[in-house]
Amino acid sequence: MIKVAESKELIVEFGENGIPFIEPVEEARLEYSLSTDGSLQLEGNKDGLLLLARAIVGMAHCEREDGFHIHLDDLYDLNESNASITISKGTDE
């Protein structure tokens, strides 16, 4: 038997300038590490993972093409190691 999870809604708001507005969540925590084989491991609490999801969806739908990017570490106190987490959108080529 397969259970289908209830669908959830992820809302991303955009400002007048087309930049996604990702509301701060004080309890958000998100850490990352790279293994020796180069794979990326993300670990976070619910708020941190949802913040990352909104940032990724926001960048995917961002219409700006001027190199805009999001520094999650500068906007939010996400991790104890002060690791840099930056999200940017490449070209659609």
pLDDT value, residue 66: 81
One digit per residue, the tens of pLDDT, for the chain of length 93 reads 666 677 778 888 888 888 888 887 788 888 888 889 989 888 889 988 888 888 888 888 887 778 888 877 766 777 777 777 888 887 765
Long-range contacts of 75-79 (CB under 8 A, 24+ apart): 75/22, 75/24, 76/24, 76/25, 76/28, 76/51, 78/28, 78/29, 78/30, 78/31, 78/44, 78/48, 78/51, 79/29, 79/30, 79/31, 79/32
- What pLDDT sits at residue 74? 67
pTM for this predicted structure: 0.74
